[in-house]
A and B are shown apart, each in its own frame.
Chain A
Amino acid sequence: MKHVLEGSHAVSEAVRLARTQVISAYPITPQTHIVEALSEYCAEGIMDAKFICVESEHSAMAACIGAASAGVRTFTASSSHGLALMHELLHWAAGARLPIVMAEVNRALGPGWNIWMDQSDSLSQRDTGWIQLYCEDGQEVLDTTLQAYRLAEAVNLPVMVVLDAFFLSHTYEPVDVPDQDTVDSFLPALSPHIQLDLNHPNAIGQMAPPAFYMEMRHSIQQAMQSVPEHFHQVEETFAKIFDRQYGPVSAYKCDDADLIFVMAGTAASTCRQAVDDLRAAGKKVGVLKLKMFRPFPCLYVRKYLETAQKVMVLDRNCSFGIGGIFAQELRSALYLNKRRPAIYSYISGMGGRDITVDHFMEMFDRTQTADYPEDESIWIALNNA
């Protein structure tokens, strides 16, 4: 049934429907509505779950690690400084191969304090071994959160469901909230691959000397490489039941496009408007929205981008000293391809700055008239530029 929900509540509804058993979280704007709703569900018995009100995000992830190691379905949500504080344990959760699911609301890091949309927080956790799935609207948030559990439990890796601060977390939209039986038919109870077990005393996460450590890390990489295939299967199953499918990337008017925009998150909606306007003016332009960032969906981006002449990447983040992170990832994904479109890297919309159709028009104009990309990312809509 359709409900008008904000993005945060699309998350909490999905976590409820997933029959999550242990939730542990620490408040940070703009994640709070997610955990407030879940606290209520636990308090009122709407969920048969334990909510652990820890004293920090670091402990939130530690508690999820403890609970997941004891074989139950877990959830946490965080953002920005909270996610940064968790960093050590993000490695631990992935290294321990625990299927923890987290909602991460994309927000800037201080100083100066800034609670608004920015991708620096989640992208800083790129190398921790977490699957990262970026969402564009409330429905996608709910669906992706449900899918995240199946995916995590299939490959034994944690999943981060990422949504834009405010533009998505606090925006109300009609969202189809499925009933419990339907969700149960999609998401069976967790059957953990490994757990603390009194009958078979085991050690989880113990010291791993050089003779073993590398193989453990190799197995994480193998699991990551299997994610696109697993995700495909999860989505097929999901589509049969719910009739919705997203893909690791989604292409809009890319087939015959000479120039293709690439980005993740809510900016894709604005960009489609810009593309429609440009198409109306006779320009062959498309948009490729990235949903999956880890693992990086190399085969998919090659498939959609290789026929284009130029690719315009919008990054709402900056890896200081090199530039936009999505652009870097795309460059490396395309480098080994025979056909390599030129990558034009643009940075904008950091710290909650609006991205408008005009900004996409500016990126298009600059890209169209340039002979080749500049070394550095170009910052769009800088006040002093």
Chain B
Amino acid sequence: MKSTDNASEKKCMNTNTAECSNVSHYPSTDYIMPGHVACPGCGAVIAMKFALQALGPKTILVIPACCWAVVAGVHPQTSLKVPVLHTAFETSGAAASGVRAALDIKGDTETTVVAWAGDGGTFDIGFQSLSGACERNENFLYVCYDNEAYMNTGVQRSSATPYGARTTTTPGDAWKNRRKKNIIEALAAHRIPYAATANIAYPDDMIRKFKKAKNIQGTRFIHAYASCPTGWRVPSDQTVSIARLAVQTNFFPLYEVEDGIRYTINTHGDRPVSDYLKVQGRFKHLAEKDIQCIQGMVDDDWQLLQRKTI
């Protein structure tokens, strides 16, 4: 890692911390108990922390197979202060539909049902049941915490793994040479009322989006960027700074899509994508031309996104 990169990240982090500490609207209650078994620096835990702070105690979680299925606690313990239905890998969209239907028939329309799945459980194996739920406009919030690979099973590629990344199934020179699936666009095409990206380095924005999503009827989708130091081969104290770089480089832009057509971009990045790639072990094999190629893809995507806001 280059020292200049480190210095600039530190600067960003401090700026953001200063911003955050001023705000009194931060929810103070925590719904995750200490002693959970996530890896040090797990971005997915930070995502859950903010999500539950925004959503509050009247929340039921549906969690399929993923890292969070373990982090949420092993029998007979639980690390969460809200009820959790653990379910099979590919079923979040359908199982959450069932929970919602049951609550409705019992007259409980207040509780927020939240499906909380990884990128594999969302982009890949669970895509069918998610698509079905979106098409029916089921009244729940679906959160994909995206660590860009199958981390629970040891860092295998998913269709959320970005171009250029090494995983245990895209090893050596066979690093992933396909683009990441654009899940927000796929879901916007379902014309669900709300789809947004969020990032753990932007807690204000993230909490705002969860609160907003909570009060919308129908299927809501939040794509939460969740860095994974273990899988990405970065030091565990870089979780947040790397997450921030993802936004600052437009690698993971923050934006919202209402009813599948009204786009709002929340942040505008201006840094080169190499700032993001070079600090991560999973990209360290990339040659300059590969990085330029990725820069081209990011620029294309960014322009395409901007065109949609017009």
A contact set with B: CB distance below 8 Å:
21-22, 24, 48-50, 52-56, 58-60, 62-72, 74, 88-89, 92, 196-198, 200-209, 212
Whether A59 contacts B94 by the Cβ 8 Å rule is yes
Whether B96 contacts A66 by the Cβ 8 Å rule is yes
Q: Does B124 belong to the interface (CB within 8 Å)? A: no
Q: Does B102 belong to the interface (CB within 8 Å)? A: yes
B103 CB contact (under 8 Å) in A52, A59, A65, A70: A70
Q: Given contacts A58-B91, A209-B75, are A203 and B98 in contact (CB under 8 A)?
A: no
Q: Given contacts A56-B129, A206-B74, are A70 and B98 in contact (CB under 8 A)?
A: yes
7 pairs of A and B residues whose beta carbons are closest in the complex: A66-B98, A55-B132, A59-B94, A70-B102, A62-B91, A63-B98, A62-B94
Whether A206 contacts B132 by the Cβ 8 Å rule is no
Distance in Å: Cβ of A193 to nearest Cβ of chain B: 15
Q: Given contacts A59-B93, A66-B87, are A212 and B76 in contact (CB under 8 A)?
A: yes
| Cα distance, A201 to B111, chains bound together (Å) | 13
Contacts of A52 in B (CB 8 A): 97-98, 101, 136
Q: Does B62 belong to the interface (CB within 8 Å)? A: yes
Instruction: Digitize B40-57: 1 where CB-to-A-CB distance is under 8 Å, 0 elsewhere.
Output: 000000000000000001
Report 6 cross-chain contacts, Cβ distance below 8 Å, ordered by A residue: A62-B129, A70-B85, A202-B84, A203-B86, A204-B85, A206-B69
Contacts of A49 in B (CB 8 A): 105
Whether A55 contacts B131 by the Cβ 8 Å rule is yes
Whether B70 contacts A72 by the Cβ 8 Å rule is no
Q: Does B104 belong to the interface (CB within 8 Å)? A: yes
Contacts of B131 in A (CB 8 A): 55
Whether A206 contacts B101 by the Cβ 8 Å rule is no
Q: Does B226 belong to the interface (CB within 8 Å)? A: no
Which chain B residue has the least Cβ–Cβ distance from A197? B83
Distance in Å: Cβ of A45 to nearest Cβ of chain B: 13
Whether B105 contacts A22 by the Cβ 8 Å rule is yes
| Cα distance, A70 to B62, chains bound together (Å) | 11
Q: Given contacts A53-B136, A198-B111, are A203 and B99 in contact (CB under 8 A)?
A: no
| Cα distance, A88 to B86, chains bound together (Å) | 14
Whether B129 contacts A206 by the Cβ 8 Å rule is no
| Cα distance, A72 to B103, chains bound together (Å) | 9
Whether A22 contacts B132 by the Cβ 8 Å rule is no
Which chain B residue has the least Cβ–Cβ distance from A69? B85
| Cα distance, A22 to B75, chains bound together (Å) | 28
Contacts of B103 in A (CB 8 A): 70
Residues of B57-104 whose CB lies within 8 A of A: 57-58, 60, 62, 69-70, 72-76, 78, 80-88, 90-91, 93-104
Contacts of B75 in A (CB 8 A): 203, 206-209, 212
Whether A205 contacts B94 by the Cβ 8 Å rule is no
B95 CB contact (under 8 Å) in A21, A62, A201: A62
Distance in Å: Cβ of B105 to nearest Cβ of chain A: 5
Q: Does B106 belong to the interface (CB within 8 Å)? A: yes
B contact set with A: CB distance below 8 Å:
57-58, 60, 62, 69-70, 72-76, 78, 80-88, 90-91, 93-106, 111, 128-129, 131-132, 135-136
| Cα distance, A12 to B154, chains bound together (Å) | 46
Distance in Å: Cβ of B112 to nearest Cβ of chain A: 11
Contacts of A63 in B (CB 8 A): 94-95, 97-98, 101
Which chain B residue has the least Cβ–Cβ distance from A196? B83
Contacts of A22 in B (CB 8 A): 98, 101-102, 105
Whether A71 contacts B106 by the Cβ 8 Å rule is yes
Contacts of A24 in B (CB 8 A): 94, 97-98, 101
| Cα distance, A60 to B132, chains bound together (Å) | 11
Contacts of B86 in A (CB 8 A): 203-207
Distance in Å: Cβ of B56 to nearest Cβ of chain A: 11
Instruction: A67-B99, A207-B86 given; name 10 further pairs at CB < 8 Å.
Output: A49-B105, A62-B88, A66-B95, A66-B98, A70-B103, A203-B72, A203-B84, A203-B86, A204-B85, A205-B85
| Cα distance, A69 to B91, chains bound together (Å) | 14
Distance in Å: Cβ of B29 to nearest Cβ of chain A: 13
Distance in Å: Cβ of A200 to nearest Cβ of chain B: 8
| Cα distance, A21 to B106, chains bound together (Å) | 9
Which chain A residue has the least Cβ–Cβ distance from B132? A55
Distance in Å: Cβ of A136 to nearest Cβ of chain B: 32
Q: Given contacts A206-B86, A209-B74, are A71 and B129 in contact (CB under 8 A)?
A: no
Which chain A residue has the least Cβ–Cβ distance from B135? A55
B129 CB contact (under 8 Å) in A59, A196, A202: A59
Distance in Å: Cβ of A361 to nearest Cβ of chain B: 48
Contacts of A196 in B (CB 8 A): 60, 83, 85, 99
| Cα distance, A72 to B78, chains bound together (Å) | 24
Q: Given contacts A89-B91, A207-B75, are A67 and B101 in contact (CB under 8 A)?
A: yes
Contacts of B129 in A (CB 8 A): 54-56, 58-59, 62
| Cα distance, A205 to B73, chains bound together (Å) | 11
| Cα distance, A24 to B91, chains bound together (Å) | 14
Which chain B residue has the least Cβ–Cβ distance from A24? B98
Contacts of A21 in B (CB 8 A): 102, 105-106
Whether B99 contacts A62 by the Cβ 8 Å rule is no
B101 CB contact (under 8 Å) in A48, A50, A55, A208: A50
Distance in Å: Cβ of A73 to nearest Cβ of chain B: 9
Whether A54 contacts B105 by the Cβ 8 Å rule is no
Whether B58 contacts A198 by the Cβ 8 Å rule is yes
Distance in Å: Cβ of B67 to nearest Cβ of chain A: 11
Contacts of A55 in B (CB 8 A): 128-129, 131-132, 135
B98 CB contact (under 8 Å) in A64, A198, A206: A64
| Cα distance, A85 to B11, chains bound together (Å) | 53
Distance in Å: Cβ of A128 to nearest Cβ of chain B: 13
